[in-house]
């Protein structure tokens, strides 16, 4: 019985140490998600206004440009998947990977080739384990992405969209990321960055009563679109990176809180079992003492006779 009590005490110490770790990780994630949330709020208006500017240029001219013009026949598509470098975030990475795989399957069903680009070690590990081709990957900055990181990611994608498909280029660019809705809700979704759907942007602006402004282009609409292309892609990727970072921290906070609560419940259960084992051990010792005392009394009484 004493051995069983030692086992319970050892498990309680182990779970208590784990609980301290998960509690610390919960507090760290809670502090980081607030900072990431502020960055998302600061970057979103810029990305939205830049999208509106591109839309205004596209609707105000007849220029054919990769930014606004859909290819007659889409041969190859690029899919950028945003995951995290670390785990312990519940279903954060698996949901994003699932959406990317569904998007890839849909594009392939439409007869398009798919080039996959990945941000984050978790997504890269998933694809490498399944021996799937990845054109390029980036890691090391998913917790706190900067605009320089977004430019680094956007560079090869912009080159691919500007190339002809016969030379390895792509006709359209999709991004899969996790949108930060609230501390309790994060949604993995896919979005087509290029070419920009002018009809969808106009439809989004219509219910709000927004009217796209009229512009005069100098020197030409094509030159304006050439200048806006990298800015547009970089800003959208940067905003998506920030959304994913905030979502990851929120998911980590929620997962670590659940782990801390479960550890507390397990400690309570083990404590009850340890108390029961200790009580059983005390009861057995008392029984042995009483039995020994009775046997001694019987032996003494027999000798007196």
Report DSSP letters for 104-159, one per residue: HHHHHHTT-EEEEEEESHHHHHHHHHTT---SEEE-S-SSS--HHHHHHHHHHHHH
Q: 1-10, 214-223, 226-235: which has the minimum mean pLDDT?
A: 214-223
What are the C-alpha distances in Å from 135 to residues 2, 77, 103?
Answer: 60, 12, 17
**pLDDT tens profile 78-108:** 999 999 998 888 889 999 999 999 999 999 9
Please, are residues 204 and 191 in contact by the beta-carbon 8 Å criterion? no
Residue 188: CB atoms within 10 Å: 23
* Residue 213 to residue 93: CA distance in whole angstroms: 40
Name which residue leads in pLDDT, 220 or 286: 286
DSSP 81: E
Name which residue leads in pLDDT, 1 or 215: 215
- pLDDT grade for 241, boundaries at 50, 70 and 90: very high
Give the mean model confidence (pLDDT) for residues 282-289. 77
Helices (H), the chain: 2-59, 92-109, 121-129, 147-162, 198-205, 221-304
Any idea of the CA torsion for 41, 46, 47, 48, to the nearest 10 degrees? 90
**pLDDT tens profile 114-157:** 999 999 999 999 999 999 999 999 999 998 999 999 999 999 99
Residues 6+ apart with CB under 8 A from 104: 79, 114, 116
For residue 213, what pLDDT is reported? 59
- pLDDT grade for 58, boundaries at 50, 70 and 90: low
Residues in the chain: 305
Give the mean model confidence (pLDDT) for residues 266-292. 82
pLDDT at 46 over 60: yes
Please name every residue paired with 179 in a beta bridge, in sequence order, or none if there are none.
187
Q: 67-71, 77-81, 100-104, 206-210: which has the minimum mean pLDDT?
A: 206-210
The pTM is what?
0.80
Residues 6+ apart with CB under 8 A from 236: 47, 51, 175, 193
pLDDT at 201 over 70: no
Q: Degrees (nearest 5) of the Cα angle 203, 61, 54?
A: 55
Give the mean model confidence (pLDDT) for residues 244-271. 91
* Residue 91 to residue 77: CA distance in whole angstroms: 27
Name which residue leads in pLDDT, 279 or 305: 279
Please state, for a pLDDT cut of 70, what percent of the chain lies above it.
83
- pLDDT grade for 67, boundaries at 50, 70 and 90: low
């Amino acid at each position: 019985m004493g051995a069983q009590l030692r086992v319970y005490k050892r498990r309680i110490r182990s779970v208590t140490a784990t609980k301290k770790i998960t509690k610390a990780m919960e507090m760290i994630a809670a502090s980081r998600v607030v900072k990431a949330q502020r960055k998302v709020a600061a970057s979103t208006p810029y990305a939205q206004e830049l999208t509106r500017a591109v839309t205004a240029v596209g609707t105000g001219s007849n220029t054919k440009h990769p930014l606004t013009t859909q290819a007659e026949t889409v041969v190859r598509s690029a899919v950028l998947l945003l995951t995290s470098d670390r785990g312990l975030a519940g279903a954060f990475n698996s949901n994003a990977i699932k959406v990317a795989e569904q998007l890839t399957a849909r594009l392939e069903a439409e007869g398009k080739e798919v080039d996959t680009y990945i941000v984050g070690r978790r997504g890269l590990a998933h694809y490498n384990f399944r021996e799937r081709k990845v054109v390029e990957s980036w890691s090391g900055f998913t917790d706190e992405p900067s605009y320089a990181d977004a430019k680094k990611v956007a560079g090869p994608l912009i080159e691919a969209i500007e190339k002809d498909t016969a030379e390895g280029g792509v006709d359209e660019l999709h991004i899969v990321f996790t949108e930060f809705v609230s501390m309790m809700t994060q949604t993995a979704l896919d979005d087509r960055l290029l070419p920009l759907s002018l009809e969808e942007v106009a439809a989004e602006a219509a219910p709000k009563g927004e009217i796209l402004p009229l512009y005069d282009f100098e020197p030409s609409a094509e030159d304006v679109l050439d200048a806006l292309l990298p800015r547009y892609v970089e800003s959208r990727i940067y905003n998506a990176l920030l959304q994913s970072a905030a979502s990851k921290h929120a998911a980590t906070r929620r997962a670590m809180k659940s782990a801390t609560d479960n550890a507390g419940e397990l400690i309570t259960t083990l404590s009850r079992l340890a108390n029961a084992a200790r009580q059983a051990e005390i009861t057995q010792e008392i029984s042995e003492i009483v039995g020994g005392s009775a046997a001694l009394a019987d032996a003494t009484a027999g000798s007196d006779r």
